[in-house]
């Protein structure tokens, strides 16, 4: 078997992975360990998408999760050789504007950025350390979710705070950069004129954000200092008046741990519906709270899309991606129905079948659905930096 690239995406209690061979864009295997630390489960699929059988027990850390993943991969692919490992790293701070080979100094710098993303960065670091132990001497690459946005004009990079905070790194970083990078690449490949123009890309998954691009480069995004800003998400509220935080602290006596839990885990679709963070569950629900939660989700997408289009001075195309953006035709329909004033009009049949172009042929603004692929962005960067092409 030729030397493989392993991509890792370590979340707080999950580890997503994919394995790519040679110069292929299709992974030979991918999967996910969920609920690390409690009742862990592992899913592993082969190139044909079919499940490969594995068992999981006693997965209490990311290192243990990686060991189980490797056992499973070794079982499915005899004589497996991992030639390089690529990692999704959530925060690259002000300085990491591209992918980088990880050495001790880089790892130290990534660790120093943990205060900017305390709920995510430590898990990414755990993944890097675990991979270093599993594959001593094997090159590892960091791909940052913030890097794609590092060229934002200053007005889109700053908050209206005293400048000293900007200098300390309190900036609008933007996230989902690997996804936007993939979409920009796909637009260049399948729709070069649109790629060269002004595009708003809505990444709508459990986490959700929107990015305004011009010529394939990010100009601004709805996510800012953290992955909390902008759209309502599965369990995060999106844009919030900072006065609410003062109220929660002063009047309700909430501490930072409680506020963090409220903002990252209890809000958004889950908090508004009181039912679920899963769009499929809400769409199937008959409860009015579920319908209101979806209404809020849609309303914020319309509002933010309008704001980003204004930042670009108009748009040539709107692109949907992410679990909801790619699969929820009803949500796309509701968003687009309220943006006729921006030249947006859907072809209902194309939208229902999740076609690549879902706008009406004579509509001034093109609307597209492009399935995103963050793993492939990591694999390509790893291949490039490790000269494995």
Q: Which stretch binds ligand ADP (CB under 6 A): 22-30, 44-52, 114-122, 273-281?
A: 273-281
Backbone angles phi, psi at 85, to 5 degrees: -125, 130
**Subset of 31-70 contacting ligand ADP (CB under 6 A):** none
Closest contact distance (angstroms) between CB of 250 and ligand ADP is 33
Determine the Cα–Cα distance for residues 204 and 268; give it in Å rounded to an integer.
13
Reduced to 3 states (helix: H, G, I; strand: E, B; else coil), residue 81 is strand
Q: Does 322 bind ligand ADP (CB under 6 A)?
A: yes
**Candidate ranges 18-26, 63-71, 279-287, 295-303; the one touching ligand ADP (CB under 6 A):** 279-287
**7 vs 94: CA distance, rounded Å:** 24
* H or E, element range at 181: helix 177-190
Which residue, 146 or 365, is less far from ligand ADP as judged by CB? 146
HSE of 126, CA atoms in CB hemisphere, 13 A: 22
Question: Which entry of 24, 39, 48, 145 is annotated as an active-site residue?
Answer: 145
Answer for the pair 379, 18: CB distance below 8 angstroms, yes or no.
Answer: yes
* Nearest-approach distance from CB 58 to ligand ADP, in angstroms: 25
Write each residue from 233 to 272 as x if it is in contact with ligand ADP (CB under 6 A), else as -, in one continuous string: -x--------------------------------------
The CB density around residue 277, as the number of other CB atoms within 10 Å, is 21
Residue nearest ligand ADP by beta-carbon distance? 323
Q: Which of 20, 87, 323, 378 binds ligand ADP (CB under 6 A)?
A: 323
Stretch near ligand ADP under the rule CB under 6 A, chosen from 103-111, 160-168, 252-260, 316-324? 316-324
* Beta carbon of residue 322, minimum distance to ligand ADP (angstroms, whole number): 4
What are φ and ψ of residue 325, in 5° steps?
A: -60, -35
Q: Which is nearer to ligand ADP, 95 or 292 (CB)?
A: 292
**What angle, rounded to 10 degrees, do the helices at 121-134 and 62-76 form?**
50
Please choose, out of 40-48, 199-207, 220-228, 294-302, the segment that lies near ligand ADP by the rule CB under 6 A: 199-207
Instruction: Pick from 328, 339, 357, 379 the residue near ligand ADP by CB under 6 A.
Output: 328
Query: Is residue 177 near ligand ADP by the rule CB under 6 A?
Result: no
Whether 145 sits among the annotated catalytic residues: the reply is: yes
CB of residue 13 to ligand ADP, shortest distance in Å: 12
The answer to whether 279 contacts ligand ADP (rule: CB under 6 A) is yes
Six-digit token string for 378: 């990591």
- Radius of gyration, alpha carbons of the chain: 21
Can residue 324 be called a binding residue for ligand ADP (CB under 6 A)? yes
301 binds ligand ADP (CB under 6 A): no
Residue 21 or 207: the one with the smaller Cβ distance to ligand ADP is 207
| Residue 357 C-beta: closest distance to ligand ADP, Å | 20
Sign of CA dihedral 29, 210, 385, 66: negative
CA–CA separation, 13 and 154 (whole Å): 35
Among 158, 254, 327, 363, binds ligand ADP (CB under 6 A): 327
Residues 158, 159, 162, 164, CA torsion sign: negative
Strands 41-46 and 81-89, sheet pairing: unpaired
- Whose Cβ is closer to ligand ADP: residue 301's or residue 385's? 301
Strand segments (E) across the chain? 3-10, 15-21, 29-34, 41-46, 81-89, 100-101, 140-144, 198-204, 208-214, 217-221, 317-321, 366-369
- Per-residue binding string, ligand ADP, 200-229, x by CB under 6 A, is -----xxx----------------------
Nearest Cα to Cα of residue 90 among 130, 124, 63 = 124
Contacts to ligand ADP by CB under 6 A: 205-207, 234, 278-280, 283, 322-324, 327-328
Query: Catalytic residue numbers?
Result: 145
């Amino acid at each position: 078997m030729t030397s493989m690239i392993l991509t890792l995406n370590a979340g707080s209690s999950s580890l997503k992975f994919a394995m790519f061979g040679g110069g292929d864009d299709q992974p030979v295997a991918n999967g996910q360990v969920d609920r690390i630390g409690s009742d862990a489960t592992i899913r592993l699929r082969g190139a044909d998408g079919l499940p490969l059988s594995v068992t999981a027990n006693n997965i209490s850390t990311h290192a243990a999760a990686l060991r189980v993943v490797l056992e499973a991969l070794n079982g499915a692919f005899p004589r497996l050789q991992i030639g390089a490992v690529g990692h999704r790293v959530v925060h690259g701070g002000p300085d990491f504007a591209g992918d980088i080979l990880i050495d001790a100094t880089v790892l130290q710098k990534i660790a120093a950025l943990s205060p900017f993303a305390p709920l995510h960065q430590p898990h990414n670091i755990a993944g890097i350390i675990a991979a270093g132990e599993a594959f001593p001497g094997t090159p590892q690459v960091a791909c940052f979710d913030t890097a794609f946005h590092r060229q934002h004009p200053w007005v889109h990079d700053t908050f209206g705070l005293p400048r000293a905070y900007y200098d300390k790194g309190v900036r609008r970083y933007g996230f989902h950069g690997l996804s936007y990078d993939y979409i920009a690449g796909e637009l260049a490949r399948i729709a070069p004129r649109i790629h060269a123009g002004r595009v708003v890309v809505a990444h709508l998954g459990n986490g959700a954000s929107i990015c305004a691009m011009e010529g394939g480069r990010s100009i601004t995004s709805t996510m800012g200092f953290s992955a909390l800003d902008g759209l309502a998400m599965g369990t995060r509220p999106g844009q919030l008046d900072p006065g609410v935080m003062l109220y929660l602290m002063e009047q309700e006596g909430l501490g930072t741990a409680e506020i963090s839990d409220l903002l990252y885990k209890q809000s958004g679709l889950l908090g508004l519906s009181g039912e679920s963070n899963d769009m499929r569950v809400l769409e199937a629900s008959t409860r009015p709270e579920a319908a209101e939660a979806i209404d809020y989700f849609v309303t914020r997408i319309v509002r933010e899309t309008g704001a980003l289009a204004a930042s670009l001075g108009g748009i040539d195309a709107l692109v949907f991606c992410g679990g909801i953006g790619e699969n929820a035709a009803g949500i796309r329909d509701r968003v687009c129905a309220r943006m006729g004033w921006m030249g947006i009009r859907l072809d209902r049949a194309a939208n229902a079948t999740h076609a690549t172009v879902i706008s009406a042929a004579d509509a001034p603004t093109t609307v597209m659905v492009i399935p995103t692929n963050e793993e492939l962005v990591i694999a390509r960067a790893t291949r490039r930096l490790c000269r494995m092409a």
